[in-house]
Chains A and B, each alone.
Chain A
Amino acid sequence: MNEMSNKWIGQSTIRPDGAEKVTGRAEFAADTNMPGMIWGSVLRSPHAHARIVSIDTSKAEAHPGVKAVVTAQDIVDFPVDTPVPLGIQDMRWMCRNIMAREKVLFHGHPLAAVAATSEAIAAEACKLIEMEYEVLPWVIEIEDAIKPDAPILHEYLEHDGKPSNITGTLEHKLGDVEEGFAQADVIIERSFTTRPVHQGYIEPHACLVSVAADGKTTIWSSSQGQFMVRAMTAMLTDMPQSDIRAIPAEIGGGFGGKTIVYLEPVATMLSKKSGRPVKMVMSREDVMRASGPTSGSMSTVKIGATKDGQIVAAEGTFYLQAGALPGSPIRGAAGCGFAPYNIPNVHSVGIDVVSNRSKVAAYRAPGAPIGAFAVESVLDEVAEALNIDPLELRLRHAAREGTKAAHGPTYPLIGFVETIEAAIEHPHYKAPLGKHQGRGVASGFWFNAGGESSAQVNITEDGNVVVTTGHPDIGGSRAAIANVAAELLGIDYRRVSVLIGDTATVGYSNLTGGSRVLFASAMAVTDSAGQVITTLCERAAKIWDIDPDAVTWEDGEARPAGDNAGQFEPLSLADIAAQATQTGGPIGHGAQLNTTGAQGGFATHICDVEVDMDLGIVKVLRYTSFQDVGRAVHPAYVEGQMQGGVAQGIGWALNEEYIFDKDGHVDNPGFLDYRMPVCSDLPMLDAVMIEVPNPAHPQGVRGVGEVPLVPALAAIANAVHNALGLRFSSLPMSPPKVLAALEMPEAAE
């Protein structure tokens, strides 16, 4: 594609769902209703850890207005000794996560669900369910969970030959770290902790499920993948996937947290038992207690360099809290931390630790911000020890095309160097700082993903275009797809309508996750549109009675390919569509692809902070992020991803954390005490897009959604260090902690 001729790719066009969203007409999952609909409510565990002795639902069932009660007995049991992988999940754990089976594993763990004629009656009936427990000692923090005498969550999971809360490890090795450290003149080794933080989507989980008498099931829900909803619900309720139609509602944010199911299988069983459509909506408290925040972590990173500034070895150990069931993002922490750098000797280990809090779900570049926080903090100290500018140190070691990464790949064309160079050149990096102010920098990496995506491109009878893809649109992907289709077909983007199909109307498409949506679906749209253009040329050839090879498609119309083809007036999309019936019938093509060629994303951030010495408040004064975005198909929504990722990083670094009380309950399960950034906390977040197009993609797309969060924690911590001379190795740098550290520097650890 000739870059200069792009008309729509690179334009911040108006999003197709904009009018619906600003007028309140967009339909989110909780907005859906059906005649005869009843409401489901979940009974949740009051204990952090207990064996379930008995459940008696008879009183709830007899309660006026109650139509159905569901317990773990109604959900398919996947025995613990046989893995049943589904994507990155394992159905052994999913079935135990949506409904406690042998034991309750965290406070808020679902035990049973009731459907009744009103939400209030369903909630009242839940209280009538009689539970008998054998309460067990519980453990939440990693350091406690890995002690030899810790309460064990899953007696059947072993580590080193005995039952353990360590439920998985992963190791990356490159070169020989011992030899590397032996050459080092400077070695810095530090330990770090981060707290569990929630994705914080504003829309709570919600669904409406209708199971008809013949078992045909329709699910409207808020998820990051209608096909994931279908597959998991089918497996957990023992239904064929073909009986389930999963319709993606508009989704009110996900950030990874809606890549698994909580309510859909439960509502399906309630609907099946009651014969009525069932709606379930989580409260914010349920979301905070029982849906997946990301891991808390405990890491140690050691980096060695020679006195002339060469990093010769790096080592990291990353313990991540998985929550109640195995599966923390150790791959992101251990894999991404060192991935930006060309270091000859690397050893990186990730360790998965279960404990009595809710099971983790993905959160924007899962694990990577944890890895980067540790690595980028130590790099900052190495730069200081060597008296080298921290960006210069990163530039010297920046991965580029041909660099072998410890986690496996040899990089193809990447734009990491360009992000650092742009940061060094940017006026922000040289701007003066005032009293109690500091500047920090950090870089980061995320894998990005390809995988399965489908699309259908249909020409309407009046010569316009409908594109259907299979990915819930979280951040504006429909707008980007409209640009891609308009560019390919040579028509105004407003003539392209982009829809998200349901599981019955579009081919299989994997999750909205891994920063994969535009990468993969643009490939499917490109393939489909290419077939459509071939057909359009054939139809024009038929109308002109010439060879199809003698027709080209340019600027939205069929033209004779050259003088030899003959003299004909061009035929527009509308002209050809109008004659479709006479020339061969409907015009439309689809593609179902398993895409490859996704390439890693890199970013470098500069952050300025000011510390209020009386109140301990860290205020972000200025923030500039630099990212290799491949090709910005829709720049406003690429910048939007960068700004949103940075804002989440600021929350994680400065205020957000799960606090557990003496009974192992989340003590701050709401937005009052779980303190996400509000508008007045933030400055404008400058986003500098650097375009190094991905040669393996027809539009040059690289994933852009996740890497913007990765460097932020370290950039802010490094800025605070620059301001105060104090290095916080423990997040969040909340006001009480900052005040304590100002009094006593050890409090920063």
Chain B
Amino acid sequence: MPTVSMTVNGKSVSAEVEPRTLLVQYLREHLGLTGTHVGCDTSQCGACVVHVDGESAKSCTMLAMQAEGSDVSTIEGLADGDTLHPMQEAFRENHGLQCGFCTPGMVMSAVDLVRTNADPSEQEVREWLEGNLCRCTGYHNIVKSILAGAKAMQG
């Protein structure tokens, strides 16, 4: 089996994997990072969004080997110790979740949005989130959370 090496949440990791191993399987099953979820297998729901070299990517639609040498960050790596990332805090405070299954992917996508667009409008948030499905909230509080989180990230 080939060996794959990358940095995940700031730590160098290396493992032998079957070539068909998806990045999400590598994160969840080899590294135990189960905060990255699988909802659809076909890259519509976005529950599996992580950052690969700083940009959001759907880890269910990428082989682990495609992330060879990359800097990967997952929802587990976002908070600074006990201090939540402003986007995580915004979701918590604005009730931006009901069941919470889509939340890690939503938060990771939102952080990437703010990276590229520091002060997004409601419409820009809605369009950015087309690749992240939520079935509980009607997106109402998710949009509110992201607008609040974007503001907090500038603060």
Contacts and interface: CB of A to CB of B under 8 A. Distances in A.
B97 A21 contact: yes
Contact of B136 (A18, A253, A636, A678): A253
A22 interface: yes
Contact of A251 (B99, B107, B130): B99
A401 to B, nearest CB: 31
Nearest to B128: A679
Nearest to B144: A684
B150 interface: no
B37 A252 contact: yes
B36 interface: yes
A12 interface: yes
A393 interface: no
A23 B84 contact: yes
Contact of B37 (A12, A28, A680): A28
Interface string B28-43: 1000111111111110
A24 B104 CA distance: 6
Given A284-B41, A680-B130, A475 B140 contact: no
B65 interface: no
Contacts of B76: 23-25
A27 B101 contact: no
A678 B100 contact: no
Interface stretch (A229-237, A434-442, A668-676): A668-676
B101 A18 contact: no
B132 A644 contact: no
Contacts of B133: 202, 671, 676, 678
Contacts of B130: 678-680
B101 A28 contact: yes
Contacts of A23: 35, 75-76, 78-79, 84, 88
A685 B138 contact: yes
Contacts of B36: 24
B136 A644 contact: yes
A610 to B, nearest CB: 15
Interface residues of B, number: 58
B59 interface: no
Contacts of B97: 15, 18, 21-22
A341 interface: no
Given A31-B34, A679-B125, A21 B103 contact: yes
B115 interface: no
Which residue, of B37, B89, B138, has the highest number of chain A Cβ atoms within 10 A?
A: B138
A651 to B, nearest CB: 9
B45 interface: yes
Contact of A682 (B35, B92, B93, B139): B139
A621 interface: no
Interface string A249-278: 011111100000000000000000000000
B99 A25 contact: no
A22 B95 contact: no
A252 B95 contact: no
A8 B137 CA distance: 23
Interface string A186-223: 00000000000001111110000000000000000000
Contacts of A718: none
Interface of A: 12, 14-15, 17-28, 30-31, 33, 120, 199-204, 250-255, 281, 283-285, 474-476, 636-637, 639-640, 643-644, 646-648, 670-672, 676-680, 682, 684-685
User: Which 8 residue pairs are nearest across A and B when measured between Cβ atoms?
Assistant: A24-B35, A252-B101, A647-B138, A21-B100, A24-B75, A31-B34, A643-B138, A671-B44
Interface of B: 18, 20, 28, 32-42, 44-45, 47, 74-76, 78-79, 84, 88-89, 91-93, 95, 97-104, 107, 122-123, 125-127, 129-143
10 contacts: A19-B92, A24-B74, A201-B135, A202-B99, A203-B37, A285-B41, A636-B141, A670-B42, A677-B138, A680-B129
Given A30-B38, A284-B41, A685-B138, 4 more contacts: A31-B28, A640-B141, A671-B44, A682-B138
